[in-house]
Structure 1
Amino acid sequence: MSQPIAFRMMLKPGMAEEYRRRHDAIWPDLAEALRAAGIHDYSIFLDEETNALFAVLRLHPDDTRDTLPGEPVMQRWWDYMADLMEVRADNRPVEAPLTPMFYLP
C-alpha cells in the first residue's frame, strides 16, 4: 500500500498560467527520476484566491524521495521554476507539510 503525502507551496502572483504550461511539458527525465524515487499518483492543485499550491502524492513503501535533492535534473527543475514560486536559497520550493484530517477510502 502506498503512503500519501501532502504539502503546500506558494505561487507568485500572476504566475499560474506559466506554472501550468511548464508542468504540462514536464521533462521526461524529471518524471522518470520522480517515479524511480517511488513517487506516483502526484497532483498539484491551485487555490486561485491565495496562490497556494497544494500537492498530494503517494509513495511506494521503499521510496527514496529523500535522494531527489541531490539529483541534477531536480536541481535544474528547481532553477527553472524559481521565478514562479517562493523558494529557498538553493531554489528548492518552500514546502509546508499538511496534516491529514480525513480520509474516505
Structure 2
Amino acid sequence: MQRMGMMIGVQPEMLAKYRELHAAVWPEILDLISRCNIRNYTIFLREPENLLFGTWEYHGTDFAADMARMAADEKNQEWWAFTIPCQKPLETRAEGEWWAMMEEVFHHD
C-alpha cells in the first residue's frame, strides 16, 4: 500500500459547482476509483486560498496502468468534463501533471 497526496487550485467562481459535484459523485466514478485500486480517497478544501488537497491509499501493483485505465474510461471522461473546468492547476506542478503530486515526509498510525 502506498499513501499519496496531491494539490490543485479551484476557480473561485466554480467553488459552489465543485462542492455540488462532490456532494453527489456518480456511482460509476466511485466504482471506477475502487477498481483502480484507490482506497480512503479524501479531498480537502482550504479557503480563502481555494486550494484542494487530495489524499488516498493506492493498493495496486501498477499505478501507471491503473491511472491509464481511469483516464480511458468513458464515464470518467464525462465526469472530468464537469470537474476539470473547476480546477486551476498549480504553476509549480511537474510537466505532465494536472494535480501536483506531493512527497510524503511523515506518517503516524
How many pairs align? 99
Q: Which amino acid aligns with 1:103?
A: H
Q: Which residue of 1 aligns with 2:104?
A: 100
Q: Which residue of 2 aligns with 1:3?
A: 2
- State the TM-score, normalized to the length of structure 1: 0.83
- Report deviation, 1:45: 0.5
Q: What is the correspondence of 1:40-51 to structure 2 with a 5 Å cutoff?
A: 40-51=39-50
- State the TM-score, normalized to the length of structure 2: 0.80
Is the Cα contact below 8 Å between 1:42 and 1:56 reproduced in 2? Answer: yes
Q: Distance in 1 between matches of 2:100 and 2:45?
A: 15
Gaps of 5+ in 1: 88-92
Kindly report the root-mean-square deviation, in angstroms, between the aligned alpha carbons of the 2 structures.
Answer: 1.8
Is the Cα contact below 8 Å between 2:36 and 2:60 reproduced in 1? Answer: no
- Report deviation, 1:18: 2.0
Question: Which structure's residues are more often helix, by fraction?
Answer: 2
Q: After the TM superposition, which parts of structure 1 deviate over 6 Å for at least 4 consecutive aligned residues?
A: none
Identity %: 25
